[in-house]
Every structure is written in structure tokens, then in C-alpha cells.
Amino acid sequence: MAITSSAKRAIRNAERRRLMNLVRADTAKDALKDFRKLVEEGKQAEAEKALPALYKALDKAVKRGVIKKNTSARKKSRAVALLRKSAKLRK
């Protein structure tokens, strides 16, 4: 257990940051799940509208260090590829 006041404060800050990072990670995951669900259901227009929300969630996660930059880039790239592939199949 922490003894000094600064160590106690550091523990409180770490817990607060951990919770916020969990929120950011969950937001990014949920945005990706929602996007994939829309694409699978064939709701092309709605999926295109959900894409900026996905980008925003991933970018915020990168900004705070929850996920790495290349992980975000890969997820964005695959999301757009999925959208284009589904659009091509539906035509």
C-alpha cells in the first residue's frame, strides 16, 4: 500500500486513467461492431454514415495511447474494404 501522499495520488490518477481508457477502448470496439453489423445487413447508406463515427472513435483511442497508430490504420482500412466489397456484391 502507498505510504506517501504523492504515491496515493498517483494510484488515484492511475485508476481514473484506466477507467477512461476502458471507455475509449469499448467505444472503438462498439463502433466497429455497429459498422460491421450494418454492412452485413446490407444497409449501405447507414454504414457510410457510421464510418466517420468509427474513425473518430479509433482516432481518439490512438490519441490517448489506448491502441497503436498502425492498429487504427489497419482497422480503418479493413472497414472501408469491407464496405466497398459489400457494395460491389450488392450490385
Q: What is the DSSP string of 25-72?
A: HHHHHHHHHHHHHHHHTT-HHHHHHHHHHHHHHHHHHHHTTSS-HHHH
This prediction has a pTM of: 0.86
What does the alpha-carbon distance between residue 37 and residue 72 come to, in Å, rounded to a whole number? 19
Among the listed residues 86, 70, 72, the one whose alpha carbon sits nearest the alpha carbon of residue 25: 72
pLDDT on residue 8: 95
Give tens-digit pLDDT for 28-84.
999 999 999 999 998 999 999 999 999 999 999 999 999 999 999 999 999 999 999
Query: What are the structural domains of the chain?
Result: 5-90 (1.20.58.110)
Mean pLDDT (whole number) for 3-24: 96
pLDDT on residue 91: 64
pLDDT on residue 90: 73
CA dihedral 35, 40, 43, 44 (to 10 degrees): 70
3-class secondary structure, 85: helix
